[in-house]
């Protein structure tokens, strides 16, 4: 099967890789939308290599759902809504996954066939996102230049996902500045690209602010949660958020609005704090109270971790796709008026008894010829580097990624094209293109 995220490096890529990892009955290929654009343009026959396609990104399906659904079952994802027109095509999926009941109800209200809608929580790898020992916490703070005695609040995400300020950055900013007056040794750790303005405002208000624009490996990200005292979710609209699950798994005390999965897994005063929308002072007051009561903060963190272990460990949640994929095959057979192509329940029962979940080892590419694997990995890296440049202003990180691919693929022109297209000044690119065009011209055309 083919799993299609927006990027193998973002959250929808992690979801796709976890589905592949914890369902050993699946022969998976994980390839992002930009990569399949190029691969299938060059080799359209490869589209026939798959029995099922699952779009973990609701935007990648806009182009490719129509191409695939005529000959294979297709699963779509409904994470949240900020612009319905941009994602409404996903109701055409043979089965539809949501991350929380809130978004199942949203689809019901929009007239979707609710029999095709399944809630499969995103889950979190509780073995990776673990509580910090005292030494790990100290090391994490030293690495980030955070004082050991500071009260540290975390916020992780990317600015390009903040449509209409759905993440409540205005609330986060006001609450942080207000809390600084109550807790002088306050610090904020922000992880993710695009937060230049947020960090500027916080620093101008004398708030210690450490900003890490980009973290490539999940292991490095898990260590950053270990530096936190609190994690805030001030959002108005969320599908997860996955970062809440990661923070809870790391035993961080979490304060959140009743958004997405939070309303299902956080009980106020038991394993976290549920606070009103659009209320900066609520975040300020509750955090100040917890900061004055270390035992209560720690109790909430421990209970949060227990909630994850019992209900949200990805080894459990990822297996929920079996029912989804079975429904997709049934829907496909009905609308195409054909026999059931595969009985995935039988396949899963037979193979799961023989195989255990694989270790996290790279990105699975089972549906592509082995001769293409290196090229596909390069395309993923180059596509992501362009995304970092275009939407996050992370030119330095992107340049390192492009150069790494150029060194690993010295005979491919693609890394050089990205450099020319995205990293050189426009005037220089224009001159290169002009010289290139002249070199292709015939002598007669040049003389004229």
pLDDT of residue 361: 60
- Fold type of domain 2-121+316-367: Rossmann fold (3.40.50)
Mean of pLDDT values over 143-154: 97
Locate 289 and state its tokens. Answer: 């109270």
Q: What is the pLDDT of residue 69?
A: 94
Q: Tell me the percentage of the chain whose pLDDT exceeds 90.
A: 80
Residue 353 — very low, low, confident or very high, per pLDDT cuts 50/70/90? low
Residue 445 confidence (pLDDT) above 60: no
Is there a contact between 239 and 6 (Cβ–Cβ < 8 Å)? no
Banded model confidence at residue 443, pLDDT cuts 50, 70, 90: very low
Query: 275 pairs with which residues across the strands?
Result: 257
Q: Taking the domains of the chain in order of start, what are their residue ranges?
A: 2-121+316-367, 134-312, 382-447
| CATH topology agreement for domains 2-121+316-367 and 134-312 | yes
Mean pLDDT, residues 178-188: 97
Alpha carbon distance 236, 260 (integer Å): 9
pLDDT-derived band at 356, boundaries 50, 70, 90 = low
Average pLDDT over residues 362-378: 95
Three-state SS at 417: helix
Q: Which residues of 191-221 are buried (b: 16+ CB within 10 A; e: fewer)?
A: bbbbbeebbebbeeeebbbbbbbbbeebeeb
For residue 66, pLDDT over 60 is answered with yes
Start-end of H helices in 205-354: 218-225, 242-249, 262-265, 280-291, 294-307, 314-317, 321-336, 344-352
Q: Where does the pLDDT of residue 358 fall: very low under 50, low under 70, confident under 90, or very high at 90 and above? A: low
Please choose, from the candidates 215, 250, 229, the residue with its C-alpha nearest in 3D space to the C-alpha of residue 124: 250
Which residue, 9, 100, 7, 25, is CA-closest to 358?
A: 25
- Give residue 1's pLDDT: 96
- Contact predicate 78/97, CB 8 Å: yes
Whether 419 has a pLDDT exceeding 90, the answer reads: no
Which pLDDT band holds residue 161 (cuts at 50, 70, 90)?
confident
Which three-class secondary structure state does DSSP give residue 228?
coil
pLDDT band at 389 (very low <50, low <70, confident <90, very high): confident
What is the share, in percent, of the chain residues with pLDDT greater than 70?
Answer: 92
How confident is the prediction for the chain on average, in pLDDT?
91
CB-CB contact of 397 with 388 (8 Å):
yes
Lowest mean pLDDT among 160-174, 239-253, 414-428: 414-428
Topology of domain 134-312 in CATH is Rossmann fold (3.40.50)
- Do β-strands 208-212 and 186-191 pair in parallel, antiparallel, or remain unpaired? parallel
Give the H or E element holding residue 204.
Answer: helix 196-204
> What six digits make up the tokens of 145?
């230049």
**188-217 pLDDT per residue, tens:** 999 998 899 999 999 999 999 999 988 878
For 396-408, how does the pLDDT look when each residue is reduced to its tens digit (9 = 90+)?
Answer: 888 889 999 999 9
């Amino acid at each position: 099967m083919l799993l299609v995220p927006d990027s193998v490096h973002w959250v929808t890529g992690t979801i796709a890789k976890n589905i592949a990892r914890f369902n050993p009955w699946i022969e998976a290929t994980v390839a992002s939308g930009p990569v399949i654009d190029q691969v299938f343009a060059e080799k359209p026959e490869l589209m026939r290599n798959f029995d099922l396609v699952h779009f973990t990104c609701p935007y990648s399906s806009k182009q490719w759902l129509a191409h695939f659904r005529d000959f294979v079952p297709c699963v779509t994802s409904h994470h949240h809504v900020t612009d319905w027109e941009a994602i409404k095509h996903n109701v055409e999926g043979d089965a539809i996954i949501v991350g929380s009941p809130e978004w199942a109800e949203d689809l019901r209200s929009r007239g979707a066939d609710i029999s095709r809608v399944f809630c499969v929580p995103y889950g979190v790898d509780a073995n990776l996102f673990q509580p910090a020992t005292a030494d790990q916490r100290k090391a994490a703070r030293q690495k980030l230049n955070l004082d050991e005695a500071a009260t540290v609040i975390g916020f992780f995400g990317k600015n390009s996902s903040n449509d209409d300020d759905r993440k409540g950055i205005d609330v986060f900013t006001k609450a942080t500045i207000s809390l600084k007056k109550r807790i002088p040794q306050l610090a904020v750790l922000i992880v993710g690209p695009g937060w230049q303005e947020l960090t500027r405002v916080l620093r101008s208000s004398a708030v210690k602010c450490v900003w890490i624009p980009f973290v490539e490996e999940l292991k490095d990200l898990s260590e950053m949660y270990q530096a936190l005292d609190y994690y805030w979710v001030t959002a108005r609209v969320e599908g997860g958020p996955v970062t809440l699950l990661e923070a809870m798994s790391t035993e961080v005390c979490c304060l959140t609005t009743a958004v997405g999965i939070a309303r299902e897994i956080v009980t106020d005063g038991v394993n976290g704090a549920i606070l009103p929308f659009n209320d900066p002072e609520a975040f300020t007051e509750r955090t100040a109270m917890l900061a004055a009561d270390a035992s209560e903060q720690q109790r909430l963190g421990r209970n949060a971790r227990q909630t994850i272990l019992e209900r949200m460990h990805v080894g459990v949640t990822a297996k929920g796709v079996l029912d989804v994929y079975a429904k997709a095959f049934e829907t496909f057979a009905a609308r195409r008026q054909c026999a059931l192509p595969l009985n995935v329940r039988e396949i899963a029962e037979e193979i799961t008894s023989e195989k255990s979940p694989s270790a996290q080892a790279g990105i699975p590419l089972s549906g592509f010829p082995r001769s293409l694997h290196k090229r596909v990995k390069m395309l993923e890296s180059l596509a992501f580097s362009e995304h970092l440049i275009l939407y996050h202003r992370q030119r330095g990180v992107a340049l390192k990624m492009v150069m790494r691919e150029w060194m690993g693929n010295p005979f491919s022109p693609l890394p050089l094209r990205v450099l020319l297209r995205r990293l050189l000044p426009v005037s220089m690119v224009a001159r290169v293109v002009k010289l290139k065009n002249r070199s292709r011209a015939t002598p007669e055309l040049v003389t004229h």
